[in-house]
Amino acid sequence: MTGVEHAGDQFIAGQWVGSTSPDRLPVTNPSTGALIDAVCKGSAEDADAAVAAARAALAEWSGFPVLERIEVLRRTATILEEKVEDLASRITDEVGTPLSLSRDVQVRRPIQVLRALCDAGIRMSWTEQLGNTLVAHEPLGVVVAITPWNFPLHQTLAKVGAALVAGCTVVLKPSEVAPFSSYALADALVEAGLPAGAFNVVTGTGQIVGEQLVTHPGVDGITFTGSTAVGRHIAAAAAGTIKRVALELGGKGPSVVLPGADVAAAAKATAARCFTNSGQVCAALSRLIVPRAELAEAEQALQEFVAAQTVGDPRDPGTTMGPLVSSAHKDLVLSYLEQGVAEGARAVAGDPYRVDDGNFVAPVVFSDVTPEMTIAQEEIFGPVLSVLAYDDVDEAVEIANNSQYGLVGAVWGPDDDGAAEIANRLRVGMVGINGGRINVDAPFGGYRQSGVGREFGTFGIMEFLETKSLNFSGSEAIRRPAGLP
């Protein structure tokens, strides 16, 4: 089961309880428009109760030795792994990700992230001796995690897993668009032995539940993934109570093809990263930057790639791209296609005027794109790739860095050393070199308006720790606290 049977409830203090609000929020299937279920449109009182439960559980959970906390989370990973098919099916219904991709990317990948966090908790140094001082890391406290709909289980485990390893207690506000994997996680954590109140789930809107949690004086930290605009608001709202805030926001990933690289292979790999999950990925590579002399070859490769895509029912094994999440989001993506044409971009693959039934949008590749165009600057969050040509490598770097964002990038070159040299000049948090992919042990996060803070591995755990100096009168008095690995 995925926890959908709890759709009328909130998970607070280890129990499924009714909301103080009678209102419900519909959860619909973006492929069919059918109603899946309805979840609580939670109240400020629900949020207060969840924070109180997390605060009450903090002493117990933070008092668990690190290795015991990790053991609970390892059991959780095993329980979730037994539900891969059910979870993948549920997320496909909520988000529209093709089912085969849901299994691997929406479910197995986040379980891998959780296990990697457990391994990182064992590897990291929880204390360090500096002369007569013992530097110790201890839990930040009560953490609120606010997660998006596009990768619901992944975003949740990356945040909740790290916070729980650190010894924090958590209140999760999942997206009301795709909430059910968070219910399954709550059930799994209970089965794994997590103390009551250490993890809580409150569904509802950002305007009510989210606002109450972000401004709550009993909350010590906020971790959020979503739009840059909402991230700005959360940072400002949390400042009133001086909370720790980690933000993973938007992106406009540049993919730079250097002279001498295999431009066709690079173009197709970039398109694959752009169109995954119908382009609804913050870490998408949505700008392909190629030598002008090789522009025609890149366009040919992209035409071949787009022609091989099948947009349709995400439960059909032949489908490579499902729907966008909603009709409103479809309208937004279509408006970007219109704007691209109006500003002079040339569609070289796909049809910017094509309008499918339902929430489906076929992939489109624009060429003759210039850096100042809207489609080269704004995060579209849809299957739209912009191709920009350059005359020398310095210009390519300038184009790549001409963005408010700085989350991911890629560099393709005839050798890794040359590609790495250019990668070091990109103002982004993560760069793939000749096809290198994101590593769940390495830090995930970006520069500039792509956010603040890092997820994954030891870097992700450190976001949820305070640092304390214990200054002894003599170095011989220093010893490690019990329970640390």
Choice among 248, 294, 379, 463 that is catalytic? 248
User: Token pair of 337, please?
Assistant: 């296609």
Tell me how far apart the alpha carbons of residues 426 and 424 are, in angstroms, rounded to a whole number. 6
**Could you tell me how many helices (H) and strands (E) the chain has, helices first?**
16, 20
Q: What is the DSSP string of 319-356?
A: -SB---S-HHHHHHHHHHHHHHHHTT-EEEES-TT---
User: Token pair of 177, please?
Assistant: 């668009």
User: Token pair of 101, please?
Assistant: 């991709």
Report CA 4 to chain centroid distance, whole Å.
Answer: 22
Choice among 282, 294, 379, 455 that is catalytic? 282
Contacts of 353 (CB under 8 A, 6+ apart): 337
Phi, psi of 170 (to 5 degrees): -135, 140
**CB-based burial, 77-96: b 16+ in 10 Å, e otherwise:** bebbbebbebbbbbbbbbbb
Percent of residues in the chain assigned helix, strand, coil, to nearest 5:
45, 20, 35
Q: Are 201 and 10 in contact (CB under 8 A)?
A: yes
Q: Which residues pair with 135 in a beta bridge?
A: 128, 469
Q: What is the DSSP string of 188-242?
A: HHHHHTPPTTSEEE----IIIIIHHHHH-TT--EEEEES-HHHHHHHHHHHGGGT
DSSP letter assigned to residue 146: E
Q: Is 378 a catalytic residue?
A: no
Q: What element of type H or E holds 246?
A: strand 244-248
Q: Is 248 a catalytic residue?
A: yes
Catalytic site positions: 248, 282
